[in-house]
Amino acid sequence: MNVRVHYTAQLRTALNRTGDELELPSAATVGDLFDSISQLHGEPFDNLAKCDNGQLHPSLLVCIGDQCIGQDFAVELQTGDEVTLLSPVSGG
């Protein structure tokens, strides 16, 4: 199945791209998606998206379409889903 991923803020800058289109197996979950992104982008992605213990960084939000799913890696994706990764933004 084909899934589109949109990167925002720090992730967009670190990966030097606004998104990716990824081909995933049918019945893939958000966790599978994160594994694929990690394999594709490695350290630049992992440094911002994951904590030292390998868990998703608590400030990273995951949205599928217009619905924020938080950090539920068990959510099954559907072909054509658009996933947005909202990384933390700071400044003043």
pLDDT digits 0-9 by tens, 6-48 = 999 889 999 999 999 999 999 999 999 999 999 999 999 998 8
| Alpha helix ranges (H) inside the chain | 9-15, 30-41, 43-49
Whether pLDDT at 54 is above 70? yes
Confidence at residue 70, expressed as pLDDT on a 0 to 100 scale: 79
Contact 14, 49 (CB under 8 A): no
- pTM of the predicted protein model: 0.88
What residue ranges define each of the domains in the chain, with the CATH number in brackets? 2-86 (3.10.20.30)
User: Please, what's the b/e burial string for 74-87 (b: 16 or more CB within 10 A of its CB; e: otherwise)?
Assistant: ebebeeebebbbbb
Distance between alpha carbon 25 and the CA centroid of its chain, in Å? 16
